[in-house]
């Protein structure tokens, strides 16, 4: 027993170490979860997030958080200085199955293998099982260094609010490594292809680049095929996009017009490739750029209406209207023109009218936030995160005021153009706002100026298509006259159709009865005949056709002299039952042999 004591002591020490290690890991897990989900009382700001709706859940990823230490501060930090921010290390999800408010909703934390970064490119693929999410590019948070490997990461949702992260394979890795990891690109997806326009490359995005912000402006439109894994990079020039062929912090939407859809880009800024703060200029909102992936052709289409000021770092969602329109809702952003502050406005761009409307329903000022159309009817726009900071500041969170929305969540009813703090899973389907339908009903499409007849053909290929509302009410007396004429015509046509139906029914009934009587007589005839065994192979009966005497109980031979003979059948005759053949005409024949008396 004494020799076993050291081993027992060793096992005890190992058990204590195991308990101690598990306690440390568990404590780290709780601390990380608490930091990733501060809760409604401690939440302060979440900058650079991305929001993606997949099925019955919304997934939030990326960016950097700041939270209050104990929830005691109200609107500002006690010192008046901005709170420090840290990378969001988890992927969060929200359920869309039940109603909630931004004060009561609970986030779910999902562990993440992918590196935590800011301003990444995100592409969603809802057609892949429960949905998939791709992320590429981005910049390191705070003082961290950018990742050594430039990978494309994929998140596979599991349909229950969870999922897993993996590195996605490339169709041709040589094409992929030629790309420069961007930050601030305008991105969207359509037909299982992801697109990213422009962006910047700095020392925070790629360790091989020494230049700090604003770094280098990246020309080109990058695309990634979800099915094949192939990458392409289409060149953008001043002749195709903008004055310089670059785009910084703009918006992109895939719009369902033309045979294969189009890409629409608006807002943001542009700069020469070797950018400086002085050479970055925000894009004027006097037109939108469209790209046809099928042909590779660019268009710049003028826009009208109540246009917003030039902006960067806004969020947008696109939703189809019930009357052949498509609306793009734009919320927030920063501007170097006008007030030079962060915007709280919501603007609507309606296609194919290419007309802007001011919703006149401001939310709260914010930029570097994210939006998504949520709910079964896609009527609600969910906004999450963002800051109310000065324009053009790329660094850490300069915010000193807490987010006025609990947990950074706001919900916008796009049909009613109103903000609220709750989500309704049973909200009605999206309908274009009244201001939009009125514009189309009043002949707005007649005033559209097209930059290219080819583009017009992609949006309008049938002159009979009605956009927006079906039309305004006409003169009431005219309506009454039309109604009366309609009633008269309807009554006449209806009466004629009714008589025709009645006649057809009577004809069918009589015809059916006639067929039933005919079938009944035929059944009686068949039932009357009860065939008896027929000596088919008897040599003496070969000259007699079966059924010669239908009414007789047995066949009878008829001879030339009319003398009837009855004979016994031969032995071992095989009897066969047969249905009667049609009764032939009887002919008297001479017997084929002699019979002795």
Three-state secondary structure of 248-297: ECCEEEEECCCCCCEEEEECCEECCCECCCCCCEECCCCEEEEEECCCCE
Rg of the chain (C-alpha set): 42
Q: What is the DSSP string of 171-217?
A: S-HHHHHTSPPPBS-EEEEETTEEEEE--EE-TTT-TT----TT-EE
Give me the mean pLDDT over the 37-51 stretch. 93
Burial of 300 (0-12, 13-18, 19+ CB in 10 A): middle
| Residue 521 token pair | 């007589």
Name all domains of the chain by residue range, CATH numbers in brackets: 39-459 (2.120.10.80)
Contact 128, 75 (CB under 8 A): no
Most confident of 441-445, 528-532, 574-578: 441-445
pLDDT of residue 69: 77
Question: Which helix (H) or strand (E) is 110 found in, with range?
Answer: strand 108-110
CA atoms within 13 A on the CB side of 382: 28
pLDDT value for 495:
53
Give me the percent of the chain exceeding a pLDDT of 70: 67
- Residue 319 contacts by C-beta under 8 Å, 6 or more apart in sequence? 326, 327, 329, 373, 378, 414, 430
Task: Let me know: does 64 contact 120? Beta carbons within 8 Å.
Answer: no
- pLDDT of 81 reads 56
Look at 50 and 17; give whichever has higher pLDDT: 50
- pTM tops 0.75, yes or no: no
Tens digit of pLDDT for each residue in 301-312? 999 999 999 999
Which is more confidently placed, 487 or 38?
38
Residue 496 has pLDDT above 50, yes or no: yes
Strand partners, 370: 384
- Lookup: tokens for 243: 């004055």
Contact status, residue 22 vs residue 15, Cβ threshold 8 Å: no
pLDDT bucket at 531, cuts 50 / 70 / 90: very low
Matching residue, tokens 């990058």: 222
> What does the pLDDT average to over 287-296?
97
Say if residue 22's pLDDT is above 90: no
Q: What average pLDDT does this structure show over 420-425?
A: 98
Higher per-residue confidence, 430 vs 508: 430
Q: 570 or 355: whose pLDDT is higher?
A: 355
Per-residue pLDDT band at 498 (split at 50, 70, 90): low
> What number is the average pLDDT over the span 320-331?
97
């Amino acid at each position: 027993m004494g020799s076993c004591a050291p081993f027992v002591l060793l096992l005890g020490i190992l058990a204590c170490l195991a308990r101690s290690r598990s306690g440390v890991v568990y404590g780290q897990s709780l601390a990380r979860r608490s930091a990733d989900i501060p809760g409604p009382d401690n939440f302060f700001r979440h900058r650079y997030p991305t929001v993606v709706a997949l099925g019955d859940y919304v997934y939030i990823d990326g960016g950097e958080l700041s939270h209050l230490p104990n929830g005691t501060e109200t609107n500002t930090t006690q010192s008046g200085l901005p709170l420090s921010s840290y990378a969001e290390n988890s992927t969060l999800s929200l359920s869309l199955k039940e109603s909630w408010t931004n004060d009561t909703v609970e986030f779910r934390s999902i562990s993440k293998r992918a590196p935590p970064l800011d301003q990444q490119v995100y592409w969603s693929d809802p057609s892949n099982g429960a949905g998939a999410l791709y992320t590429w590019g981005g910049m390191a948070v705070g003082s961290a260094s950018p990742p050594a490997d430039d990978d494309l990461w994929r998140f596979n949702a599991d349909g229950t609010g969870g999922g897993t992260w993996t590195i996605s394979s490339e169709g041709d890795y040589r094409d992929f490594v030629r790309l420069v990891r961007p930050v601030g690109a305008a991105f969207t997806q359509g037909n299982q292809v992801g697109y990213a326009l422009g962006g910047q490359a700095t020392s925070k995005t790629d360790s091989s680049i020494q230049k700090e912000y604003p770094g280098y402006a990246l020309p080109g439109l990058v695309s990634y095929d979800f099915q094949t894994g192939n990458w392409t990079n289409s060149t953008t020039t001043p002749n195709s996009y903008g004055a310089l062929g670059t785009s910084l912090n703009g918006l992109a939407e895939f719009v369902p017009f033309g045979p294969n859809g189009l890409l629409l880009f608006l807002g943001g800024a542009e700069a020469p490739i070797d950018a400086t703060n002085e050479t970055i200029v925000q894009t004027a909102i006097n037109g939108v750029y469209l790209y046809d992936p099928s042909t590779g052709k660019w268009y710049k289409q003028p826009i009208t209406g109540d246009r917003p000021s030039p902006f960067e770092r806004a969020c947008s969602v696109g939703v189809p209207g019930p009357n052949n329109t498509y609306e793009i809702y734009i919320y927030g952003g920063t501007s170097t023109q006008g007030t030079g502050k962060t915007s709280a406005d919501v603007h609507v761009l309606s296609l194919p009218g290419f007309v802007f409307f001011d919703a006149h329903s401001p939310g709260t000022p914010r930029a570097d936030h994210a939006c998504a159309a949520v709910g079964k009817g896609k009527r609600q726009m969910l906004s999450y995160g963002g800051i109310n900071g000065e324009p053009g500041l790329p660094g850490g969170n300069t915010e000193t005021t807490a987010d006025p929305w609990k947990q950074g969540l706001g919900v916008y009813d796009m049909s009613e153009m109103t903000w609220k703090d709750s989500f309704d899973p049973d909200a009605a389907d999206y309908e274009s706002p009244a201001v939009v339908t009125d514009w189309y009903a009043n002949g707005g499409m007649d005033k559209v100026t097209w930059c290219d007849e080819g583009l017009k053909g992609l949006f309008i290929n049938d002159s009979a298509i009605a956009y927006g509302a079906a039309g305004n009410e006409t003169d009431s007396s005219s309506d009454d006259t039309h109604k009366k004429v309609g009633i008269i015509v309807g009554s006449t046509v209806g009466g004629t159709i009714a008589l025709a139906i009645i006649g057809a029914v009577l004809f069918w009934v009589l015809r059916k009865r006639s067929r039933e009587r005919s079938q009944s007589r035929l059944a009686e005839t068949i039932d009357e005949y009860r065939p008896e065994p027929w000596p088919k192979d008897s040599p003496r009966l070969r000259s007699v056709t079966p059924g010669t005497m239908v009414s007789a109980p047995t066949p009878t031979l008829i001879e030339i002299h009319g003398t009837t003979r009855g004979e016994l059948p031969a032995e071992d005759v095989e009897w066969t039952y047969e249905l009667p053949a049609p009764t032939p005409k009887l002919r008297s024949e001479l017997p084929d042999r002699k019979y002795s008396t």
